[in-house]
Structure 1
Amino acid sequence: MLIKEGFFIQFIKLAGPFWNSENQVAIRLNTVFLIGLTVLQIVMAVVTTQWNADLFDAIEEHSMSGIVAQMGMLAVIFIGSITVTTTHLIVKRKLLIGWRVWLTDKVVSKWMYKGRYYQITFMSKDNHDNPDGRIAEDIRIATEDAIELGHSLFYSVLLLGSFTEILWTLSGTININLGLFPFTMAGYMVWIAIVYAVCASILGWWMGKPLTAATNARQSKEANYRSGLIKAQEHAQAIAIIHGENDEQKQFKYSFGDIINTYALQTAAWKQIVVFTSGYSVTSMGLPILVAAPRYIVGTITLGTLMQSVQAFQQMVAALSWPVNNLAGLASWRASVERVLSLVKALDDLENDISCRKPHQLCVVKGQKSVLKIENVSITGMEGQVLSANINEEIRAGEKVQIIGRISTAIKLFHAIADLWPWGTGRILVPEGEDMFFMPPKPYLPDGTLYDAICYPKKHEPFDRELIKQLLKLAKLEDLVHDLDRVDDWDQHLPLGHQQILGCIRVVLHKPKWLFIEEAFNALRADAELQILELLAKELPDTAIIGITRQATAEAFYQRKLKV
């Protein structure tokens, strides 16, 4: 991934405007509230440390009244800690879900804008493969982990400031005699904690470097594997009919093998971190006691001060060790953020490529007349290779025109008219305010009731059910009349021919002024395709029908031909 700006700057530009969004007042109040609750968490930690010192002093003094007093104090700490922690959780989760909803809406809006989700499939997929995983999973990690990591970092900074002062005071002053160089050191445990934590952080950072790359690679391979499984499920009928299970299993095995390879890389990176953190945790537990014990043994400090010094040392080291303790989380978070940024960058590049009209770039503009006008249009590939040159044509409302020539180029002309294929030159004028409807070879039937699938996309006013039943009977699909309210995966359970007829019924319901048929009845018999076209012409007499077909019998339906 090529990054011109710094990683954090890119992330802030993408996700930072959340705090200036529509609900900015509530968002900012929750943020301030969360900061205040974090400060209270530090207060509770300091109070707990002081309570621990007082308790051990009471034990050392064999003071029963002191222990009873500390039992009462413990109850106060217990209630305060639960209240602060629970409230902190609620406020934090409000921010988590709010930020995720906002960023998801922002990215999905970019992705779904004017067919960008379709157009982006023609670009190199190195940096934007599996957009479903990037939107559903990576945005979740990018936002949730950002707040989790940000909170823990802020908490660590406050922890460091609070317990450095405490440890400095408790450490007192010691005299060190190195022969010729005797000197006095104040706050010696603070210096030991800093040296220890810095050395550990540097070592931990070095040992954890391979984890970011390994995590990013694994997430990509996991997404590829999941995408393959989804694709097989979507085409289950086709695979089952031709007995393609063995080939699919081989592909699954190959994709899963990629996961295993990245898993091995990640395991090797994790092994280094586990070796380090295991040794680090053991040392952190014993080192403060060993460092502070001599002062207790000679009677300079009490048992309570010893235990408070140990806790203060551990809290300070924990704060200084934030980078070490969050290596894995930072690696996972950064990998997800980079995947989201890559998708957004690809969409922005596509938008820039399409929006920055060059002098002779193919463009679609609105016209005032009820005419589709194609002026000096040349269709090119994404790399600029000319597929069809100098198309000039005028199609009037109600005409029936067949597109002939290379099928793939004819389809791109349809996509250009739909403003989905900007690669080329010339100008296409489409009538303003007149509905255009494009019929692909396989109509999209969303999950839900059959009624909803037929009516997709819905208009404000519901379609007449009796009309739908009449059209089903007219199209000889009487067996589906009683299934209008049944929920099913219709694109999986209906034959393609039935789906294409449902697509025809959908067109009749929507009554467009312009209809573009892209081999939308190729699963039907030749005579059946002609009958469907005649039905469309009867039900929609004022609609212009422009079609692409391979059926010779269907050619008789069209009044004239346009060669591309």
Structure 2
Amino acid sequence: MQTLRDFWSLARPFWCSAERRPALLLLFGTVLMNLCLVGVNILYNLWNLHFYNALQALDYDAFLMGGGYFILLQAGLASFTVAAFHFQQKLTLRWRRWATENTLQLWLQRQRYLKLQLTSPETDNPDQRIADDINLFIGMSLKLSLGLMTALVSLFSFLHILWQASSLVRVPFAGEELVIPGLLVWAALLYSILGTGGAFWLGRTLPRLNFLQQRREADFRFSLMRLRENAEAVAQYRGESEEHARFNQRLGATLENFWALVKQQKIVLGYSTFYMRSAMIIPMFVMAPQFFAGAFPLGRLTQLSAAFGEVHEAMAYLVRVFPEIAEWKSVVDRLMGFQQRLASVGDEAGVRLEHDADGFEVQDLSLWLPDGKALLAGLDLRLQPGDSLLIRAPSGFGKSTLIRALTGIWSHACGLARYDLGNVLTLAQKPYMPLGSLRGMLWYPAPARADDDARLLQVMRQCGLDHLSEQLNAELDWAQTLSIGEQQRCAFARALLLRPAVLFLDETSSALDEATERNCYAQLKQALPNTIVISVGHRASLEHLHSRTLSLQQCQSPVLELEVDY
């Protein structure tokens, strides 16, 4: 029941959204086509009666007519199958687009994508949750629910045929022949209950194994992606052997769990195959005495055998799809856990941020690690437009963590930070280089402006990037194309293009020589005279590039040193 509640919690937002009207129309079309397929099966069951009676009676004309009816039934079956597939896939497409876009929005809001990585490492592979699990959840939910509906409709459609036919079965008892009302129905029900219970017992470990398999497959793919992203560093370390060993370790864990899954699936598959195939012979044996006694013709026996098969298959639907149910449950569990973590990570406490278009102020800021170890307590700070501040601290203090806290992406902190929240930019030590054109990369995160290339080229010259001026339209993997020094100069170019009111520099010039570093800071000072610049770094050369220096030590009062002009 918990899985069903989780399923509805995941599905309800879509069916209550603005998409519900076209989605309901598509669902209605899908359901209608599936009901038509059930109708074709009912007609096919009646066809069995007349066709095999014609064979037994050697009635050639009836035989030819039956062949014509068979072709019409197959044409209807093909038409309704294609129509049902069309409506179901259109509904899947619409639902997946809505669910993926909303999950992406939730994941990207309030920097949850980073907060998950910093505070919830157990939330593995969010990319797989969004790209794969949403698709699996929607496709399997529709398939299983429509299959269940079809099974129920088929059950009640063929039930009356079996119930009426049970009057033909006479059971010898105490020298008399008894007629048990609905004997064939009760036989199908008992056989289905026993089979369903056996399948659930044999496959009870499948959901856990499917859950682990999805996780280990994602971990293996992620390790391959990490090598691609850090190919140069691995090559410089000559780390191929270690990477190969790591790949083999993750692949081994994946294949080990896969084989355990296969062994369990073999048991369930063998059981369900024997169980489902054996059902077709049961009504034959039950009704054989009356058939050989001439109580009814071959067509009737064939019709009842087919009807028993339909009723039994409907009752045993869960046995037939149990492996898929196990996989679906693991997908629901993973998606539900991901959604719950996304919802909770955005609500975690941290530094309270307030908007202030003028100046920068911090009040009573405290900072600690996830394990509770205190890093900083009672920081108060006030800066005016045009001020530049260098924050110094011992190695390992957590200067980058302080920047995260000031920008609201570190939850293990408290206090107040007040600045222009709508016009702030943070440049990291390793700048992010999005895929696309050089123009788009330099303007990131703002949209590329092709009509302002003159200004862009001027900024590139100021930052020593004029050798790239002919490649504005080139679309490359810039993280692999440019050196780390060039990437950091691109970061300074972004600041000059975007002109933020508050600029955080997290060791952004660590790969630059002192002359280039001094030039980049001078360009900032000249082009952005009213921007508040806050830098963290180790290099002594930075002290002369800021008007103030803030020295921090763990859990001690910060020291704000005298201004230094540069």
Q: TM-score category by the smaller chain?
A: over 0.9
* CA distance in 2 between partners of 1:326 and 1:75 (Å): 30
Correspondence 1:305-316 to 2 at 5 A: 305-316=300-311
Structure 2 residue aligned with 1:143: 138
* CA distance in 2 between partners of 1:293 and 1:447 (Å): 72
Aligned residue type for 1:411: S
* CA distance in 1 between partners of 2:64 and 2:229 (Å): 68
Structure 2 residue aligned with 1:453: 441
Unaligned segments of structure 2, at least 5 residues: 553-566
How many Å apart are 1:83 and its aligned residue?
2.2
* CA distance in 1 between partners of 2:271 and 2:421 (Å): 67
Check the 8 A contact 2:276/2:313 in 1, yes or no: no
Matched, 1:342 2:337: yes
* CA distance in 1 between partners of 2:211 and 2:513 (Å): 49
Correspondence 1:239-388 to 2 at 5 A: 239-354=234-349, 362-367=351-356, 370-388=358-376
Structure 1 residue aligned with 2:4: 8
* CA distance in 1 between partners of 2:69 and 2:228 (Å): 61
Structure 1 residues 276-285 or 544-553, which shifts more? 276-285
Select which of 17, 20, 39 maps to 2:16.
20
Select which of 398, 402, 421 maps to 1:413.
402
* CA distance in 2 between partners of 1:133 and 1:470 (Å): 42
Please tell me the root mean square deviation across aligned C-alpha atoms, in Å: 1.9
Correspondence 1:24-423 to 2 at 5 A: 24-126=20-122, 128-179=123-174, 183-354=178-349, 362-367=351-356, 370-406=358-394, 408-423=397-412
What CA deviation, in whole Å up to 9, does each residue of 1:149-188 have, x standing for no partner?
0000000001111111112223324332343896421332
Structure 1 residues 378-387 or 193-202, which shifts more? 378-387
Check the 8 A contact 1:173/1:187 in 2, yes or no: no
Q: Secondary structure at the match of 1:388?
A: strand
Aligned residue type for 2:355: K
**Structure 1 residues 454 and 85, CA, compared in 2 at 3 Å: closer, same or farther?**
same
Aligned residue type for 2:129: R
**Structure 1 residues 16 and 418, CA, compared in 2 at 3 Å: closer, same or farther?**
same
Matched, 1:500 2:488: yes
Q: Secondary structure at the match of 2:470?
A: helix
Select which of 410, 415, 436 maps to 2:424.
436
* CA distance in 2 between partners of 1:311 and 1:180 (Å): 31
Aligned residue type for 2:479: D
* CA distance in 2 between partners of 1:71 and 1:174 (Å): 30
Aligned residue type for 1:71: G
Identity within the alignment, %: 24
Matched, 1:537 2:525: yes
* CA distance in 1 between partners of 2:448 and 2:306 (Å): 65
Aligned residue type for 1:476: G
Aligned residue type for 2:467: D
Check the 8 A contact 2:392/2:538 in 1, yes or no: no
Check the 8 A contact 2:387/2:547 in 1, yes or no: yes
Aligned residue type for 1:152: G
How many Å apart are 1:148 and its aligned residue?
0.3
Check the 8 A contact 2:280/2:308 in 1, yes or no: no
* CA distance in 1 between partners of 2:176 and 2:199 (Å): 34
Q: Secondary structure at the match of 1:353?
A: coil
What CA deviation, in whole Å up to 9, does each residue of 1:126-159 have, x standing for no partner?
3x21101111111111111000000000000011
Q: Secondary structure at the match of 1:172?
A: helix
Structure 1 residue aligned with 2:555: none
* CA distance in 2 between partners of 1:38 and 1:432 (Å): 54
Runs of 4+ in 1 over 6 A off after TM superposition: none
* CA distance in 2 between partners of 1:36 and 1:328 (Å): 27
How many Å apart are 1:461 and its aligned residue?
5.1
* CA distance in 1 between partners of 2:310 and 2:525 (Å): 79
Structure 1 residues 436-445 or 464-473, which shifts more? 464-473
Q: Secondary structure at the match of 2:419?
A: strand
**Structure 1 residues 486 and 420, CA, compared in 2 at 3 Å: closer, same or farther?**
same
What CA deviation, in whole Å up to 9, does each residue of 1:343-395 have, x standing for no partner?
111122223323xxxxxx6311122x511101111112234332111111101
Check the 8 A contact 1:142/1:334 in 2, yes or no: no
Q: Secondary structure at the match of 1:550?
A: coil
* CA distance in 2 between partners of 1:558 and 1:271 (Å): 69
Matched, 1:525 2:513: yes
Aligned residue type for 1:315: E
What CA deviation, in whole Å up to 9, does each residue of 1:15-62 have, x standing for no partner?
212112112221122222222222211111100111121111111111
How many Å apart are 1:247 and its aligned residue?
1.1
Matched, 1:482 2:478: no
Give the TM-score normalised by structure 1: 0.94
Check the 8 A contact 1:54/1:304 in 2, yes or no: yes
How many Å apart are 1:414 and its aligned residue?
1.5
Structure 2 residue aligned with 1:357: none
Q: Secondary structure at the match of 2:365?
A: strand
Structure 2 residue aligned with 1:358: none
* CA distance in 2 between partners of 1:481 and 1:147 (Å): 52
